Structure 1
């Protein structure tokens, strides 16, 4: 924006240089000096006006002026100029208009009709212009056009105000700025030369070669090329669309920052980022999201939601996701799958998500627990399998919490189909508590009866599930077990010592991820008969 950086200020200074005079007088070094060319000179006693006609050529305050006719009133120090008025200063600055009025005492100037101010680099065009030399203020009120002749920069507006003393300029009403790199439309634009900033107010739209931005208020620094958009701020940089209460962008430093309801949507990857605070570093290709951040991966009907106190997004030079990391209060939600942990590391290129520290995973009525849970993902949102290690445990709720199928071992591999748990393999020191059932058919219905409790220890085992129900178990390598009929269950055998059941930690909806977790991570609810202690 070279136009703002230099030329707006020069326009006001040029007007000041032309219209600076304390008094009118004739003689050597006088303000007004008539040059050869006037056809007629007359004087009116009643009005005190001197009238010059013909092609006029005279000097005032060191400036050469041309016009078809002029009136001069010495007593009040007023000058009227008509017809093809031109003022030239040092052969570099030219002012043109159809007519002009200047009062030497009040130092007010008015220019009408096809007003143009021009030097070798810029040009201002308008219908009329007022200038107050006392306050160095220039105003046009009926549309103006400012253009840089050398760079194709153009600014148009209904109103324009220039203040050289404070080095400011204001433009209002259908303000449009165009250059080879940018088109900007706004209601009001303010330029401050001292701080080299352009401020815009009202609905604003900016378009560049590769982006488009919107806001109701903002600023742009013409030297550092950084800017801030506030109030309904939005940046479209296909395939990314970013919105927020305020968006700051510094392209030279390849840095961006968003505050308040920040949302970044990547339509190509079908990923959406939400946060209260967001930073993006183009040099390290890293995005950091804090203040209840949330990431949505929308590659299937079952959207995958990820949240943590802090989420870090790593991308490649093509803006594609490489990795997502989360720290503290990690929560995951899908319609069929939910999870919590202390930390998260999702390597998208490997389709692997690691959950560390108090890791829990839920599918239907099953809960999987491990110090670490490694989740293998297909197509960004479908769970293929999960690896729980070490100290792995799984529980399956039966009959609304009356009984729990349970598994524990050194490690558990759980397999999923369409995000539903269908099998779990326990490897090493496998232990299980299983409540087998049978169906009894009557004339009117099929009744499912729990047969009892099967407690079996084995080296390894496989559990098969359908719609959250255990439909089969295979024990490997010399199982050691005991069966208790349902009415003779030993309370000491009812729960494995690793047993935990944590329904209060489980996210019920994705909207819960936008709020602080109501239950601390260390809090669990252990369902068991009163007075029974873990072995």
Structure 2
């Protein structure tokens, strides 16, 4: 019996010694208490109460002679918070305590804090919890190894790495803080938010576990299977997948890059909107869209742009700039071998490239047949040549012109000097190109022409005026090589000094130099035809509406 009592006494002394040593170790953590801000009003002090302990002793090893060593089922209360542990050092004079092993701190039914060690100061109401720390607040859990919890501000913060989890997301960072009252958390340094559908990385992030909204406060990347978002300011609702982003944020999707002063993105519905100074680039097709408003749906591949909207095509080296009031892109038979796109420009279309310029009211380009169709009195210029009609259809081959078809009231004019113009008019014209240069032109129906033959040194011989039903012209190095009229017409050749003024221009001749775009900035300045220079009224084909029966339909 005596030996058993000695063993029990020896075991008790050993446990008191361990607790005393741990109490000494706890003093080195006091420096990490959050300092009070200047001007803050200190709360009224209240007493920390010891509620229960199986064993209460004093240890001569503790530097505080009044420290109480508590062992077994220890419980404390301070105001509305309860603290539990296996053993503790209680400093009643300083209103503080150290708790060891199976530490648990409970405040109402909203906050539960666990760890292996706790130092609690009842005067500052700051709890320092260390090792295997877990803070639980309803559906939110915070894990770390070092956490300070400020009861006055109801704020927990870690500084050596931590993880916060809720129903939607898992967030990790080097430094962070969480408020159980407001459900707001702030993260800094190597921040990572992982969601089943995307991953967000940042240096600074503010997140609400109540609304699931992440406020972006620094350089951040949001990456999913389909797209990538870069932003330095804005917010992302992780629950419904909506983002509002500022400061020239960037949305990238399958080779397309959308930038604007502000962006709105809906991940569930799959569309994005950009506002002000918008730039949308397509690295696959080598074109770019700019303007003050742009909409793009990544699910249907539909795009819409307005407010100074410009399409820039740089696939041919020299960039082609085209402006219209409204630009649209439709995709048909999506994700099938039959997929094709239509680009549409509506009203006051103007385009400029160093070698070609054009104007029309509306325009449609279809990748199905690589045809660009210009509607309502279109005009094209190439160097000193001008082409116009009621409708112009340009068929492309690998982004270069293959052939063109000018329908109704067709007129071709080539300026030779300030008074001399080669002119051809007919019901329709067909022109074939090779290597970007016109090689053959057919003029069909009611053909009339004013033509100036040249010497080999480009000296004008005279002026030829003729009429026929069909004209075939063959060109080489941009010069007329051969001309065939059917039926054959000798016409009339006037010497240069004997040209009748009334014969020098066809009755439908107009040189629209005042309409021609002068540079890429001039495409925004719409200039209509002067009174009396319009084409004759006729029953013209209207711009066909998009075929919504095929829109986003699988074949």
TM-score calculated relative to the size of structure 2? 0.77
1:265/1:467 CA distance change after superposition, 3 Å: same
Structure 1: runs of 5+ lacking an equivalent: 1-19, 26-30, 440-446, 527-535
Structure 2 SS opposite 1:390: strand
The answer on 1:115 being equivalent to 2:133 is: yes
1:318/1:272 CA distance change after superposition, 3 Å: farther
Per the alignment, residue 4 of structure 2 pairs with none
The answer on 1:343 being equivalent to 2:362 is: yes
Per the alignment, residue 57 of structure 1 pairs with 74
Per the alignment, residue 17 of structure 1 pairs with none
Structure 2 SS opposite 1:183: strand
Does structure 1 retain, via aligned residues, the 8 Å contact 2:295–2:304?
A: yes
Whole-Å Cα distance in 2 between the matches of residues 142 and 456 of structure 1? Answer: 92
Per the alignment, residue 263 of structure 1 pairs with 279
Report 1:434-513 matches (<5 A).
434-439=451-456, 447-479=457-489, 481-509=491-519, 511-512=520-521
Does structure 1 retain, via aligned residues, the 8 Å contact 2:115–2:131?
A: no
Per the alignment, residue 7 of structure 2 pairs with none
Does structure 1 retain, via aligned residues, the 8 Å contact 2:468–2:485?
A: yes
Deviates more, 1:491-500 or 1:93-102: 93-102
Per the alignment, residue 325 of structure 2 pairs with 309
1:133/1:21 CA distance change after superposition, 3 Å: farther
Deviates more, 1:264-273 or 1:320-329: 264-273
Whole-Å Cα distance in 2 between the matches of residues 457 and 392 of structure 1? Answer: 15
Whole-Å Cα distance in 2 between the matches of residues 189 and 276 of structure 1? Answer: 29
RMSD across aligned positions (CA): 3.4
Does structure 1 retain, via aligned residues, the 8 Å contact 2:85–2:100?
A: no
Per the alignment, residue 101 of structure 2 pairs with 84
Whole-Å Cα distance in 2 between the matches of residues 338 and 282 of structure 1? Answer: 32
Whole-Å Cα distance in 2 between the matches of residues 243 and 516 of structure 1? Answer: 21
1:303/1:378 CA distance change after superposition, 3 Å: farther
Report 1:204-353 matches (<5 A).
204-282=220-298, 285-301=301-317, 304-316=320-332, 317-318=334-335, 322-353=341-372
Does structure 1 retain, via aligned residues, the 8 Å contact 2:216–2:231?
A: no
How far did 1:131 drift?
2.7
Structure 2 SS opposite 1:492: helix
Whole-Å Cα distance in 2 between the matches of residues 270 and 91 of structure 1? Answer: 56
How far did 1:335 drift?
4.4
1:282/1:208 CA distance change after superposition, 3 Å: closer
Per the alignment, residue 432 of structure 1 pairs with 449
How far did 1:456 drift?
0.5
The answer on 1:406 being equivalent to 2:423 is: yes
How far did 1:200 drift?
0.8
Does structure 2 retain, via aligned residues, the 8 Å contact 1:364–1:420?
A: no
How far did 1:387 drift?
1.4
The answer on 1:522 being equivalent to 2:522 is: no
Structure 2 SS opposite 1:450: coil
Structure 2 SS opposite 1:224: coil
Structure 1 SS opposite 2:85: strand
1:225/1:448 CA distance change after superposition, 3 Å: closer
How far did 1:491 drift?
0.4
Deviations 1:206-244 (A, max 9, x none): 222332221111211132211123223222333333333
> Structure 1 or 2: larger strand share?
1
Whole-Å Cα distance in 2 between the matches of residues 408 and 39 of structure 1? Answer: 114
Whole-Å Cα distance in 1 between the matches of residues 383 and 174 of structure 2? Answer: 65
Per the alignment, residue 444 of structure 1 pairs with none
Of the three residues 420, 423, 430, the one matched with 2:437 is: 420
How far did 1:143 drift?
3.4
Whole-Å Cα distance in 1 between the matches of residues 189 and 532 of structure 2? Answer: 64
Structure 1 SS opposite 2:280: strand
Count of residue correspondences: 483
Whole-Å Cα distance in 1 between the matches of residues 298 and 187 of structure 2? Answer: 34
Per the alignment, residue 40 of structure 2 pairs with none
The answer on 1:355 being equivalent to 2:363 is: no
Whole-Å Cα distance in 2 between the matches of residues 132 and 69 of structure 1? Answer: 20
Whole-Å Cα distance in 2 between the matches of residues 227 and 212 of structure 1? Answer: 12
Per the alignment, residue 188 of structure 1 pairs with 204
Per the alignment, residue 367 of structure 1 pairs with 386
TM-score calculated relative to the size of structure 1? 0.80
Per the alignment, residue 33 of structure 2 pairs with none
Report 1:98-177 matches (<5 A).
98-103=117-122, 106-112=124-130, 115-117=133-135, 123-147=141-165, 153-177=169-193
Whole-Å Cα distance in 2 between the matches of residues 161 and 64 of structure 1? Answer: 21
1:199/1:462 CA distance change after superposition, 3 Å: same
Per the alignment, residue 382 of structure 1 pairs with 400
Deviations 1:407-433 (A, max 9, x none): 111111122222222232211111000
Does structure 1 retain, via aligned residues, the 8 Å contact 2:74–2:88?
A: no
